[in-house]
Structures are given as structure tokens and as C-alpha cells.
Amino acid sequence: MGLKKFMDFLESSYTIKENESNPDLLPEKVKSRLTEDGKGNYVFHHYSYERRDSIKPTDGTGSRIVSRDESPALSSVGGVAQYYTMENQVESGVGPILHTVLVPKNEVYYLQTDALDFYDEAKERFSKVRPGQAFNPNYQAAWISKLANENGFKMLVSEWRDGELRGQTTIPLIPEKTNIAMKTRKEDTFEVGDKVNVYGEDGVVTGIEGDTLTYKGERSSGSINFVRSRRLIRKI
């Protein structure tokens, strides 16, 4: 087979669609937390113990940060590469070498709204691979990521811890030669009546005294020091 025919064969065999027409599907509450490079891309960070020419998906085996519950979900889709999306998210055990990946803004998909309704197909395909198993949140993220990737979105972002976002993808991505810093997080200020998310639950600010505010949530109420615990509360 000649070189041209071989390249044509590779192109015809590649199942990931190029995304030239997908609209920007991200809600404002997601856009506001991501960093732009000024050229139409969002910035994602990946760490490792050595410099990599390509960030490849893995099943998490041997990882210090992938949980025992999460690893089977990653392996069920052939592996996932995970990314940080915001300033000061780095966990211990990920390695000291930073890689920056840029993804066009219209090629980032948000799990929680699932704007193109990938859930049903993702669950059906999961059930064929893992019959009888529960389609839990780890599997949902992995399989909806796979569907999004196959439909032209290079990165899935989802809610993570304390109002933060995490990125993941089932496809290898090429890091930039020069790293780009994440934007500084904007610190929220609060007033009575503000809608907030506290400890992962939505609620409303009912009072403020000094650095402490009280809130009424959907299932519970309480108080929180919003200076010491900034990562546990955010406006919505």
C-alpha cells in the first residue's frame, strides 16, 4: 500500500468527528470558571512525572489519585486522561511536570447539562460492556465523555469538588510547547438574598455578620465562614 493510500485509510478509519459546526453549549456558570487563551481556546492542565509529547488516556492503574471506585469506569471506555481546569487544583501525587492543552471553546462539553442528550446512548453502550452493573456517576462521566469525544468534543468538563470543575477525555491530546497559567480565581462577595452553593447544596444567604454568613439550603441550613472556607461556598 502506497503512502497516500495508507494515509487515506487512516483518515477513513478515524472515528472521532472533526467539530466545525457544534455551537458553544457551555452555560455561563461554566465559562466563568474556565481560562481562555485569547485565541478561542480554553486552557487545561495535566501533570506527570516526565515530559510527554502526547497526553494519553489510562485506566488509572498505579495512579495515586484515581480511586478504587473510579478505575473500573476509566478502563470500561479504554482509558481516560484527566485535566485540571482552574487555579490551585493540583493534588499531591500527580507529578511535578506541567503540560498545557488548548481546546477550542466549541469543543468542550459540560456533563451536568448534557445538552445533546448523550446519556441514554451512553447507558445502553455501557450495559453491553458491563451487563448488570449500576450506571453510577463514575461510569456516567466516562461514557458520556466517550460519546462527546466521538461527536467532535475534545474535552468533557464536570462538577468536581467544592464548586470546582474537572476535565477528562478518552482521546490523546498534544500539549503546547509553552505552558499557560490559569487565571486568578475571582473571590465572591456575598449579600443577603444571594443564591449560593454551600457544601455542594444550593441555598440562599439569610444573614451576614463579619466573615460568617448564614444560609438556608434545600435540605439543611447553617452558617459558614466564607473567608476560611472559600472553596466550600460559591455564588450561583
Q: What pLDDT digit, counting tens, does each position of 138-153 carry?
A: 999 999 999 999 999 9
Average pLDDT over residues 38-53: 96
pLDDT of residue 40: 96
Q: Where are the alpha helices (H) located in the chain, listed in sequence order?
A: 3-13, 28-31, 70-76, 119-129, 137-150
Q: What cell was used for 147?
A: 460519546
- Ramachandran sector of residue 132 (left: φ over 0; alpha: ψ -120 to 50; beta: rest): left
- DSSP result, 31-55: HTTSPB-SSSEEEEEEEESS--SSB
Distance CA 196, CA 234 (A): 6
Residue with cell 471506585: 69
Digit-coded pLDDT (tens) for 173-224: 999 999 999 998 777 889 999 999 888 788 999 999 999 999 999 888 999 9
% of residues, the chain, pLDDT over 90: 65
Whether the predicted model's global pTM rises above the 0.95 cut: no
- Across the chain, which distance is largest between two alpha carbons, in Å? 75
